[in-house]
Chain A
Amino acid sequence: MGRLFAVEIVYRGIFQKTLAKNISRAIVLAAHEEGKPGISFGRYGDSPERNGIPAKSFAIVATDSLTLEEGMAKYEPKEVDITIAVDDTLCKGVESWAWYGLQPINRLLKPNSTLIVTSRQEPETLIEMCHRKEYPYKLAIVKGIPSFSGLWVYKDDHTDARILGAISNILPELFSLESVQRVIKRDTNGDLKAISAARSYERISTVTVRPDQGNPEKPYHFEMPKWHEMRDGITIPSIAPGHAMKDPQNQTVGGFQPARNPTFKKFSTRTMRPILNFDTCIKCTLCWLQCPDSCFDVTPEGLYDANMEACCGCGVCEAVCPVKDCVTMVNEVEFHDNASQWEMWRKDKEGYLAFLNSKIEERPERSHGFRYRGQYQEQIAEMAKPSEANAD
């Protein structure tokens, strides 16, 4: 029995599908340079054609083909040597299109194996976002914003090369820098991309994450019912009707909070969340009407509170709101929970205003996907900054 290597690439929906596939293919090809057989595949049950939705690709490599076959006998690896998150907001956990509940990003990591994240954040911020794990693992950050290299046309920003270079440092038994550079050079003109891999190889460093670090929350999950416990006829009960809301300050009851699916929440699709200014809201109802996920709760005083258990972060509310800065999309890494903004505001209006201003002050102009023509070109320039820093 030889050694089996498994790597998963966790990515978001349509803009990162090709990126994830390129990484998993290059892992297999680089290992093959060293005589190791392998396979690369995307999880079939995912629905990566949807923007933002968490999905996975896998690369399985072994030192010999019989060992590889043992790895292939399980459709999906149950544990991995490396998890790669190509969007740092995925560190909050992922919920597949299928009903698996919320999975911690580090769920499949073996003890002392490595989570690689592309992020501009410091390790402390990412560690706080990840769920706690019972044993230590390592975190490595490839500096950069999430790559939206596209599905139909792959706009190369070297994210794949930089991740591959990092892998060759972190797990040299899988493949060496030289092997992966050979694979990269075969696909590209010039040495630039292979140099990116080398820079990443040189600069990558890891920190150890201890079991007492990270988000202590237990991710929600549910038991799959047995066949005789399920309703027959492929029928499911509708979502129950909603109920009134209660003001935490004066106990006024009113408004409306729709009941929501307790087992399929979808909020892990979110990379940005709307931050609401309840003082400037004119109660025009547009956010509530236009939200495709019915995420707005109506408060007793007729305001609209974006429910963070239901919001997918699409940004439609920001786009339709007629009041300046009343709804502002802010990157998800700024937040540590799904608490109600309205309740926070009701309890401490001054404090909430300070919170709001601090969050929207330097918000980056992006969400998952592109909101205006030319945004990608701007991002390429931004992406290039750390590469230039590496090159000098």
Chain B
Amino acid sequence: MAAPSVIVDKGKGPEEIALITGSEAIAVACKLADVDVITGYPIRPYDTVMQYIAKLIADGEFDCEYIVAESEHSQFEIVKHASVVGARVFCGSSGVGWMYAFEALTVTPALRVPMVAMVGNRALDDPGAFGVEHNDALAVRDLGWQLVWVDNAQEALDTALIAYRVAEDRRVFLPCAISCDGAFLTHSQGLVKIPSQEKVNSFLPRYDRGDLLLHPDNPITVAPQANEDWLMEIRRQTAAAMERSAGVIREAYRDFERIFGRSYGNPFFEEYETEDADVVLLGMGTLSTPVKVAIRKMRQEGKKVGFVRMRWFRPFAAEELAQCLGRFSAVGVIDRDFSLGAPFHSGVLATEVRAALCSSTKRPPILGFICGLGGREVTLPDVEKMTGIVYEAAAGKTQPPTQWIGVRE
């Protein structure tokens, strides 16, 4: 089903340019990162990455152990074990497939397994919709998984390389899931610069598990059963690793810019037209495109609107975000997820943003929007409507804390 890649600029420039989907970009990153063990189990939309990896192997471009497991649970267990014996690993899933792997997902951070996974974001069943919702990846938000959202294929490729660099850093050793919106990113092709192998090699050191390597020369037991006398210390260790992650992410983006010449600015969130903005919208993933276009349109009408796109959700850059958002007179958070029964019935992102700003002295009103669920398009009028509500709040008019946008009513 995945369209073959089309190399449109082979050999002419310093880098190849390929027309590939977000999934395919991550498959290319796996090849460039020389991943040792990959497991797959098909579920849409994640399976596009499986297909492209299979093609790279079949074409003789990529050499790795490629195992199609009998379930997502086995899929994640296999790479967990492979990582413990020193293999660089890749894995992924979507929607309820990711949920089926949940037990394996929970044990991975505590074992300090730097697994990199792709989540092709998909609505959870029922009703078995294929389209994007972020609830699948967000389900692991409390467990020690690093979570990052990307909004285009180039960023998918780059972030996959950065994810290996961060996850496999001895100070971190935590898994990282890269979220790619189903359809909008997993199934749409864009022009992607493919970095050279030499640059990737200089950016990404080999995976060294050190004293945690399970090997006859380093005889250890991994994951013995332990009781209440040990568990809190183990959790504290995992928490400390997550606390160190933010610094390692910053280092990785700095090195990425130095080696590849491509800058992402602030690694944790992207700011668009925020410099002089009165109000901003905030969201994750590919809804950035309609939001940015709508903002350009609204700016022509004299409305000073900006957009903040969260990349890293775990670790969550709370202080930086609070500083950023404190500059505006109101903030609208667009959740492509739901968190039923949460404070104010908001989505996950809105609740987290409110928490981040809680102790801040400059605390603008924060409106929660539930929008684009199940892959429903976030339209330009939707964005304008949300912006209007945010402006009302900025003007001091009380607004419902959570509103559903784009639902038939």
A45 close to B111 (CB less than 8 A): no
Interface stretch among A154-162, A189-197, A219-227?
A219-227
Interface residues on A, range: 10 to 19
Check: A374 CB closer than 8 A to any chain B CB.
Answer: no
Check: A237 CB closer than 8 A to any chain B CB.
Answer: yes
Check: B220 CB closer than 8 A to any chain A CB.
Answer: yes
The smallest C-beta distance from B380 to any residue of chain A, in angstroms, reads 48
Q: How far, in angstroms, from A234 to B232 measured CA to CA in the complex?
A: 12
**Which of A226, A231, A235 has the largest count of B CB atoms less than 10 A from its CB?**
A235
A232 close to B237 (CB less than 8 A): yes
Query: Residue-by-residue, is A66-110 near B (CB-CB < 8 Å gives 1, otherwise 0)?
Result: 000000000000000000000000000000001110000000000
- SS of A interface (majority): loop
Interface positions of A from 215 to 249, Cβ below 8 Å from B: 224-228, 230-238
Q: Which residues of A contact B219 (CB under 8 A)?
A: 237-238
Given contacts A98-B227, A99-B229, A225-B233, contact A233 B221 (CB under 8 A): no
Number of interface residues of B (CB under 8 A): 26
The smallest C-beta distance from A258 to any residue of chain B, in angstroms, reads 14
A238 close to B236 (CB less than 8 A): no
Q: Which residues of A contact B112 (CB under 8 A)?
A: 232-234
Query: Residue-by-residue, is A16-52 near B (CB-CB < 8 Å gives 1, otherwise 0)?
Result: 0000000000000000000000000000010000000
Interface positions of B from 169 to 228, Cβ below 8 Å from A: 173, 211-212, 219-224, 226-228
B111 contacts which of A227, A230, A234, A236 (Cβ < 8 Å)? A234
Query: Residue-by-residue, is B87-121 near A (CB-CB < 8 Å gives 1, otherwise 0)?
Result: 00000000000000000000000111100000000
Q: Which residues of B contact A227 (CB under 8 A)?
A: 232-234, 236-237, 240
A234 close to B227 (CB less than 8 A): no
B236 close to A234 (CB less than 8 A): no
Q: Which residues of B contact A233 (CB under 8 A)?
A: 110-113, 173, 212, 222
Q: How far, in angstroms, from A25 to B223 measured CA to CA in the complex?
A: 37
Check: B241 CB closer than 8 A to any chain A CB.
Answer: yes
Q: How far, in angstroms, from A227 to B238 measured CA to CA in the complex?
A: 10
Given contacts A232-B112, A232-B173, contact A238 B237 (CB under 8 A): no
B233 close to A236 (CB less than 8 A): no
B233 close to A226 (CB less than 8 A): yes
Residue of B nearest to A237 (CB): B220
B224 contacts which of A98, A228, A232, A236 (Cβ < 8 Å)? A236
Interface positions of B from 293 to 318, Cβ below 8 Å from A: none
Q: How far, in angstroms, from A83 to B357 measured CA to CA in the complex?
A: 54
**Which of A225, A230, A232 has the largest count of B CB atoms less than 10 A from its CB?**
A232
B233 close to A238 (CB less than 8 A): no
Q: Which residues of B contact A100 (CB under 8 A)?
A: 229
Q: How far, in angstroms, from A237 to B226 measured CA to CA in the complex?
A: 14
Residue of B nearest to A100 (CB): B229
The smallest C-beta distance from A131 to any residue of chain B, in angstroms, reads 22
Interface residues of B (CB under 8 A from A): 110-113, 173, 211-212, 219-224, 226-230, 232-234, 236-238, 240-241
28 contacts between A and B (CB under 8 A): A45-B228, A98-B227, A227-B232, A227-B237, A228-B240, A230-B230, A230-B234, A231-B211, A231-B220, A232-B212, A233-B110, A233-B111, A233-B173, A233-B212, A234-B112, A234-B222, A234-B223, A234-B224, A234-B234, A235-B212, A235-B220, A235-B221, A235-B222, A235-B223, A236-B220, A238-B219, A238-B220, A238-B221
Interface residues of A (CB under 8 A from B): 45, 98-100, 224-228, 230-238
Name the 5 nearest CB pairs between A and B, nearest first.
A238-B219, A227-B233, A233-B112, A227-B236, A233-B212
